Amino acid sequence: MKTSKLFIAAAAALLLSACSTPKLGYFQDVQSGQLHQLQRPTYVKIQPGDKLSILVSSKNPELAYLYNLPVVGHYQSSTSGKGLTTSTVTNYTVDAEGNIQFPVLGKMHIGGMTRNEIAEYVRTQLVNGDHLKDATVTVDFLDMYFGVMGEVKTPGRFIIDHDNITLLDALTRAGDLTINGVRNNVLVMRTENGQETAYRVDLTNADNLYSSPAFYVKQNDIIYVEPNAKRARESTGTGNAFQNPSLWISLASLLTTITVLIVK
């Protein structure tokens, strides 16, 4: 009889724990009116292998044309049988030393620069070298991405389209974490200078998040949200079977019935 009571007590405890509400929110330590020290915005900096477009414009388009890469036409077939041509400006690919070959100006070192720094650097070279006094330079990223994997609603690769993307921005693009995603141990893998560094971020703790080197996302970052224990157990057919309170209640009830019959 004592054994059956122990089973019933264990089943009741498990049922209560199953009915409790897990803490799934972010910033669980934040109080109303509380201040947190934020990092200075970190802007994406150009690395070897990155691609970008640099467009020089001027009041004199013919003169500005000399300082732009050639426009390439692409021929496409159509159902009507007539050819269609689309034009795109070719892009710059940063070499292993962080350099690009710029029309007329030649080799330029832009590794480690932000978009605004590159634009100002090219403009200064054009103006100070008496090439183009009224030059306007526009720089855009091309083919620069970060990846989000694991327990998010829409994992995948996402384009970097502006200068400073936060980890929260990145996870928002992936549709946020699923209910099974571990919020206090998000992994960010970052490759820089031929080395890969791992950062662990606790989304439930504001200070930990804001102070992390991974708060601002960089190109080629991989963000991984690991599954919680319940989700991991689902990888096997009976992984969560013994976590079901009804199973233990049924077993306790069966044991109680057997015990009563034996006693009688």
Cα separation, 45 vs 62, in Å, equals 31
Total count of residues recorded for the chain: 264
The answer to whether 108 touches 54, Cβ cutoff 8 Å, is: no
User: How far apart (Å, rounded) are the C-alpha atoms in residues 125 and 241?
Assistant: 69
- In this structure, what are the phi and psi dihedrals at residue 246, rounded to the nearest 5 degrees? -65, -30
Q: pTM here?
A: 0.72
pLDDT digits (tens, 9 = 90+) for 188-228: 999 987 889 999 999 999 989 999 999 999 999 999 999 99
Distance CA 141, CA 113 (A): 12
pLDDT band at 29 (very low <50, low <70, confident <90, very high): confident
Task: Give the β-pairing of 136-142 and 106-109.
Answer: unpaired
| 71 CB-side CA count, 13 A | 7
Cα distance between residue 1 and residue 259, in whole Å: 6
Domain range annotation of the chain: 2-22+234-263, 51-142, 145-230
- Strand 145-150, strand 195-201: pairing: unpaired
What pLDDT, on a 0 to 100 scale, did the predictor assign at position 228? 93
Share of the chain above pLDDT 70, in %: 72
For the domain covering 145-230, report its CATH number: 3.10.560.10
The predicted model gives 225-235 an average pLDDT of 87
At residue 144, the pLDDT reads 93
> Quick one: angle between helices 245-263 and 2-19, nearest 10?
160
- pLDDT value of position 79: 55
Nearest-angstrom CA–CA distance, 94 and 144: 12
Least confident range from 1-10, 35-44, 208-217: namely 1-10
CATH of region 51-142: 3.30.1950.10
Specify the pLDDT at position 247: 53
pLDDT tens digits for 95-147? 999 999 999 999 999 999 999 999 999 999 999 999 999 999 999 999 899 99
